[in-house]
Chains A and B, each alone.
Chain A
Amino acid sequence: MSFQEAHEVNPARRVFVSYIDKSREYYLAQDYGNPYRWAYNRDVPFAPLAKPLAECRLGVVTTTSLATGDEPADLAERPPKRAYAHPVDPIPERMFTMDLSWDKEATHTNDVGSFLPLKQLQGFVAKGRVGSLSPRFYGLPTEYSQRKTNTIDAPDVLQFCREDGVDVALLVPM
């Protein structure tokens, strides 16, 4: 048996997962019409670092939500999300992730460090690799509507970053 067969991949197909392909087929199978049109941009804005990272304040953006312990299981009871800012200290012991699309069969999100690297970043600040960590991290809603992200949520996150004097940002989707 070859290595690939032993690991259940088919080398005659692209091994890397295309989430655009997977989700399109999945929602078509759920009888949703009109496949989702993902953002596609030909031009990409690029801001070079204005000073060494060791002098920069870094802000972290997550798509997860603060865990309250009483999140309604019923989608219909969950109000629309807004971007939020929350103190980095103390680092939350857990975050609410069940409303997001991630691989709930293959893994879990019980370790916040696996998707929100605040503790690791504090370590790099202590070593002088990064100037400082923003006193708050930022929550970003995942939105079907690109217009809502572009006109409401992204500007909200920018505003938080400016309030906290953030120089560079690290963003982690699930």
Chain B
Amino acid sequence: MSVSLTARHLEANGIPTVVMASARDIVEQAGVARLLFTDFPLGNPCGVPYDVEMQRAITRMALDLLENARFPRTTVQTPFQWPTDEWRRNFMLITPEKIEELRVAGEVRRREQAARKAKFEKI
């Protein structure tokens, strides 16, 4: 979302942008001029690691989109599929067995965030 807001800022200042992303809903809700969407787990929006051919094809599509889009909110989806679909379910999965674990993780994270805030906001 920080990327989408920055793309909007660049566009508003006359710099055409293209966003290459896998979190389609977040980018489209923020609203960008051009989005190249690849339906992969988050982490490799430019292609499968070490698959140079795919990375080249996806980058080429981003350049094509940059050049060819005529209207804002133009989304193009690349044709590539992740080898499996389990990640769709497993990412940020909440199960009854994990509820207590997640609650504790949240407490730890809040303590860390508070400590960080106390440490760096004094400076």
Report A's interface with B, CB cutoff 8 A: 7-9, 15-23, 25-27, 29-32, 38-50, 52-53, 61, 63, 74-80, 97, 101-111, 113-117, 120-121, 123-124, 129-130, 140-143, 146, 149-150, 153-155, 157-158, 161, 166-174
* A114 & B62 in contact (Cβ 8 Å cutoff): no
* Closest chain A residue to B62, Cβ basis: A170
Smallest CB gap from A109: residue in B: B43
Q: Within the complex, which residue of B6, B29, B87 is in contact with A105, where a contact is CB–CB below 8 Å?
A: B87
B30-52 CB mask vs A (1 if < 8 Å, else 0) is: 11110000011111111111101
Question: How many B residues are at the interface, by size bracket?
Answer: 35 or more
Q: Report which of A7, A38, A173 forms a contact with B3, defined as CB distance below 8 A.
A: A173
Query: Taking A19-B26, A169-B10 as contacts, is the C-beta distance between A106 and B112 under 8 angstroms?
Result: no
Contact partner of B106 (CB less than 8 A), chosen from A32, A74, A172, is A32
Contact call B112/A31, Cβ cutoff below 8 A: no
Residues of A within 8 A of B13 (CB): 47, 158
In angstroms, Cα B16 to Cα A157, docked, is: 14
| Contact indicator A44/B73 (Cβ below 8 Å) | yes
How far apart sit A124 and B19, CA to CA, in the bound complex (Å)? 18
The CA of A74 and the CA of B103, in the complex, are separated in Å by 19
A69 to chain B, nearest CB (A): 20
B92 touches A116 (CB 8 A): no
Q: Besides A29-B98, A120-B59, A167-B15, 10 other CB < 8 A contacts?
A: A29-B102, A44-B8, A44-B32, A49-B66, A105-B91, A117-B58, A129-B63, A149-B2, A158-B15, A171-B20
- The tally of CB-CB contacts under 8 A between chains A and B is 273
Complex CA gap A28/B71 in Å reads 37
B105 — which chain A residues lie within 8 A by C-beta?
30
Q: Which residues of A contact B91 (CB under 8 A)?
A: 17, 22, 103, 105-106
Asked if residues B43 and A76 are in contact (CB atoms below 8 Å), the reply is no
Which A residues touch B116, using CB under 8 A?
75-78
Is the pair A173, B89 in contact by a Cβ cutoff of 8 Å? no
- Whether B12 lies near A45 (C-beta < 8 A) is yes
Closest beta carbon of chain A to B79's beta carbon, Å:
15
Give chain B residues whose Cβ lies under 8 Å from the Cβ of A146: 1, 5
Interface residue from B44, B47, B49, B92 paired with A25 (Cβ < 8 Å): B92
**Interface hits, B82-105 → A, CB 8 Å:** 82, 84-92, 94, 98-99, 102-103, 105
Q: Are A173 and B84 in contact (CB under 8 A)?
A: no
Chain A residues whose C-beta falls within 8 Å of the C-beta of B47 in the assembled complex: 113-114
| Whole-angstrom distance between the Cβ of A35 and the nearest chain B Cβ | 13
Q: Which of B33, B43, B106 is in CB contact (< 8 Å) with A107?
A: B43
User: CB within 8 A of B103: which of A31, A97, A123?
Assistant: A31
